[in-house]
Structure 1
Amino acid sequence: MSTDREAGTADKNRALAAAILPLVGGAANIDSVAHCMTRLRLGLRDRSLVRDEALKALPAVLGVVEDDTYQIVLGPGTVARVTPEFEALVARKPGAAPTAQELAGRGAALKAARKARNATPGKLLLRRLANIFVPLIPALIGCGIIAALGGLLVNLGWLPGVTPALAAVAGGFMALIAVFVGHNTAREFGGTPVLGGAAASVIVFAGVAKIEVFGRPLSPGQGGVLGALGAAVLAVYVEKWCRRWVPESLDVLVTPTLTVLVAGLVTVFGLMTVAGGISRAIGDAANWLLAHAGAGAGFVLGGLFLPLVMLGLHQALIPLHTTLIEQQGYTVLLPILAMAGAGQVGAAMAVYLRLPRNRSLRRTIRSALPAGFLGVGEPLIYGVSLPLGRPFVTACVGGAFGGGFVGLFGMLGDKVGATAIGPSGWALFPLLAGDRGLGTTAAIYAGGLLAGYVAGFLATYFFGFSKAMIEEYDVDTEPEPLSVTAPSDPAPAQL
């Protein structure tokens, strides 16, 4: 029976991949295929071949986003299963390379314009930061949950012989995170990954405690992920210099030696001190902000986070979260920012009630809400609030009130933090930590979510629609049947 269910799921994923492929121009139009937590990311040869409206009409497609790649929002779980099926279809149907005429005209102009729009130095830097840190998120989540479980067992006095092992399992990754950051940084900047990891590993080596810089001994871990970033970037530049000037006969010996030596020494005698100071400043600034302006800061951060996600600028916060987790054991920023998702959920529920005749949009909301409660907001952003316009703004209002609620308690001395980055919404409960008991921390976070839901709902219900919008959208918009085979609605469990 289990085999039949698995076969049915595989058939549905294959059918969805088969439905998407012709709508993006077929296999011959695909340059690259990848996926993140919620999106199928496609590199296209000719953007003009994509049938956007037909794609959006597929029941399982929750929205599309155009960035450096063409991104189809399918939701967590679904995208990871559909991507291999899509890759297999592309591999089986390679097609011919497009002709010069096919690449000319409007498609080429659109492609060039898209590249120009997304190739700014700031956006490229943010993408690189994301490529460095996003692969680390699964380990951060897993280790964070194990640490929370170990702490709970210690508080309850259960399994005293097991809790030290859990602490070791959870802490091992964080103790060596600088090495992983260095590895990924070197790979992202075009160097040899293991050399980047080697240059960054000196930061966590216990022996640095015997070294004095400016009359002060270093401490293992000083500089953290920021120092690792700097060490690995420097290693890449040294390695590239060596590749240009070192004779090929000596390259295998000289290049790695000089790369690790130069980058390592500069890290020990400079970067660890500088990055350590920056890291401390980040922690002090976060603590000061919560202590003196918690409610206002939370209101602003919670209200602005959805636009940051929409623009991809939230990636700049990943190193800050990681630095705070290294320093304090948790990041106080993430629970506040997570309130943006609560505002989005409240807004979606209001849209559902305000447009009772729009069956297509209501179906999208029903499919996306389970993911929204678990903190995955992209399906609701790109499938509901952003296309409508005003509900996106009122969703931000909900996030602002939720963030202000959590920030207010930070001012009162009840910090709420997260031991890992990635999850939000209800999925963040197992990762909560703070300077009070777990019950108090969870209650404050739950109160923030409730404030976000209620504020987002009320703001959207009363201010999210004009009369003209109601007339335009409160109609039956069921799409006409497509000529391709489309899968049935995804079950909530797949979101």
Structure 2
Amino acid sequence: MSDENKHHATAAALLPLVGGAGNVTSVAHCMTRLRLGLRDRSLVQDERLRALPAVLGVVEDDTYQIVLGPGTVARVTPEFEALVETERAGTARAAADHGTGPVTAEGLAAQGAAFRAERRTRNATPFKLFLRRIADIFVPLIPALIGCGIIAGLNGLLVNLHWLPALTPALTAIASGFMALITVFVGHNTAKEFGGTPVLGGAVASIVVYAGVADVEAFGRHLSPGQGGVLGALGAAWLGVHVEKWCRRRVPEAVDVLVTPTLTVLVAGLATLFGLMFLAGEVSAWIGDAADWLLTHGGAGAGFLLGGLFLPLVMLGLHQALIPIHTTLIEGAGFTVLLPVLAMAGAGQVGAAIAIHLRLPHNTSVRATIKSALWPGFLGVGEPLIYGVSLPLGRPFVTACAGGAFGGAFVGLFNQLGTAVGSTAIGPSGWALFPLLDGNHGLGRTVAVYAGGLAVGYAAGFLATYFFGFTKTMLGELDAAPDAPAALRQPAPADPVTEKV
């Protein structure tokens, strides 16, 4: 049996003995031990686990620690994590496939979840899975981006008003510290996501922001600290993972703990300094220039397309490719001009939901779902409305996209006229984006343009859905009885709209 198969077999033997994936809350490893967080300690089969040839011992502390030895634990852990994720995904699909019962507000939510799981499975192409992994690198950083972004906005307001001058330097340090080291976090998460040792990914990525890189010359120029930013960190850590895996396959386990980290940091570090930083810096500059050009010259047309296509991009999983672009723009310019335009898709969804509520006065299930999901929709949480209302109905999903298109056109037009509207962080949209807004003409004008875009998106989504969101047949089926089970149990199978998105 090859080493790779041996470590996979060890992981496969361990998982059922610790209670299966449902009993595992966290997975990590140190030099010699696989450290597991467990929901129910009583589910662990201790005697059988200790009898496994690969297990050298068990230690119980704040986590359940299985001693596998140096070198071995680093190879078994990613196999174990992969098995946990696979088992959890299979359990979720099985639960979605067996959902039954009458159509109620809860039933609609379950139906939407099943539909989302089905779409996720059908869209599991290599390219989309890669984008999902890229998203998983950046999503854990969003809370810090939001917190630091709001503090930066508050600090900017205090500076403009000349209030609390003794406090603003401290707020600047608090808001800027995370952004100064974001490459380290990106490197850490990249290595974790692609099956490497997270701290080695962070170590390689930290080279990007080290001040001493100014003494290094590559491609005839001296490097600048931070050159290449998050893209350089991502590439450096990804390369480090491949070097580490190469070493794990070839370096004897007895010296693995010394040789593998050294070669990983050395090889990936040299490649970062003499290639990746320069190339990633060029790409980052191009992304910033392209975004500025798109909205400066495309204006309303670019905003119309971006706002109108964002919900279908979400459905296809392609929106995940935008996360590193947003982060790169924030890192370079201080804000991303794309997010406020894309946020208009949520406004169109809210307007469409209000129209559906008025058009179906007798359908208590749909109206109950809208009532519970509308306020989160105003705050930028659109999934309940998408998967619980508009997408199962088919046509209203398209009219919601039309609302987002007109809202995006409004914001894009003002960008073309010289008023850049941006966000200092990614994540929130709707009303929740107001504290994160920034631009080139002061906070008042920036807020006014964004609020105007939301109003246009609400109105356009409402009007498009109210007048064009239903055929006479659909209205007859959906509003004829309180529950209207037939129409929503089979989400518009004969309507090609649903298949297109």
Deviations along 1:349-406, one digit per CA (max 9) or x if unpaired, are: 0001111111111111111000000011110001111111111000000000000000
Report the equivalent of 1:418. Answer: 423
Counterpart Cα distance in 2 of 1:252 and 1:275: 31
**Equivalent position amino acid for 1:286 in 2:** A
Counterpart Cα distance in 2 of 1:33 and 1:386: 34
The alpha-carbon deviation at position 119 of structure 1 amounts to: 3.6
Report the equivalent of 2:381. Answer: 376
CA contact (8 A) 2:243 2:267 kept: yes
Counterpart Cα distance in 2 of 1:68 and 1:392: 14
CA contact (8 A) 1:321 1:334 kept: yes
Report the equivalent of 1:304. Answer: 309
- Equivalent residue in structure 1 for 2:352, among 336, 347, 353: 347
The alpha-carbon deviation at position 479 of structure 1 amounts to: 9.0
- Equivalent residue in structure 2 for 1:259, among 261, 264, 271: 264
Report the equivalent of 1:43. Answer: 89
1:359 is the counterpart of 2:364: yes
CA contact (8 A) 1:297 1:404 kept: yes
SS of 1:433's partner is strand
The alpha-carbon deviation at position 476 of structure 1 amounts to: 3.6
The alpha-carbon deviation at position 247 of structure 1 amounts to: 2.1
CA contact (8 A) 2:194 2:238 kept: yes
CA contact (8 A) 1:55 1:61 kept: no
Report the equivalent of 1:477. Answer: 482
**Equivalent position amino acid for 1:456 in 2:** G
- Equivalent residue in structure 2 for 1:332, among 329, 337, 342: 337
Moved more, 158-167 or 273-282: 158-167
CA contact (8 A) 1:205 1:220 kept: yes
State how many pairs are aligned: 404
**Equivalent position amino acid for 2:165 in 1:** P
Deviations along 1:185-205, one digit per CA (max 9) or x if unpaired, are: 001111000000100100011
- For normalisation by structure 2, the TM-score amounts to 0.77
Report the equivalent of 1:139. Answer: 144
Report the equivalent of 1:106. Answer: none
Counterpart Cα distance in 2 of 1:140 and 1:472: 46
**Equivalent position amino acid for 1:44 in 2:** G
Cα distance, 1:132–1:68 mapped onto 2, change above 3 Å: farther
Report the equivalent of 1:211. Answer: 216
Counterpart Cα distance in 1 of 2:413 and 2:156: 26
Counterpart Cα distance in 2 of 1:286 and 1:358: 44
**Equivalent position amino acid for 1:249 in 2:** A
Counterpart Cα distance in 2 of 1:61 and 1:33: 30
CA contact (8 A) 2:244 2:260 kept: yes
The alpha-carbon deviation at position 214 of structure 1 amounts to: 2.1
Deviations along 1:402-452, one digit per CA (max 9) or x if unpaired, are: 000000000001000000000000000000001111000000000000000
1:388 is the counterpart of 2:393: yes
Cα distance, 1:328–1:404 mapped onto 2, change above 3 Å: same
SS of 2:89's partner is strand
Report the equivalent of 2:294. Answer: 289
Give percent identity, aligned residues only. Answer: 71
Report the equivalent of 2:403. Answer: 398
Counterpart Cα distance in 2 of 1:61 and 1:68: 12
**Equivalent position amino acid for 1:411 in 2:** Q
- Equivalent residue in structure 2 for 1:222, among 208, 224, 227: 227
SS of 2:164's partner is coil
Counterpart Cα distance in 2 of 1:196 and 1:228: 8
With CA pairs under 8 Å and 6+ residues apart, which has the higher RCO, 1 or 2? 1
**1:28-107 → structure 2 map (5 Å cutoff):** 43-45=89-91, 47=93, 50-54=97-101, 57=104, 59=106, 62-63=109-110, 64-66=112-114
- For normalisation by structure 1, the TM-score amounts to 0.78
Counterpart Cα distance in 2 of 1:204 and 1:285: 24
CA contact (8 A) 1:225 1:322 kept: yes
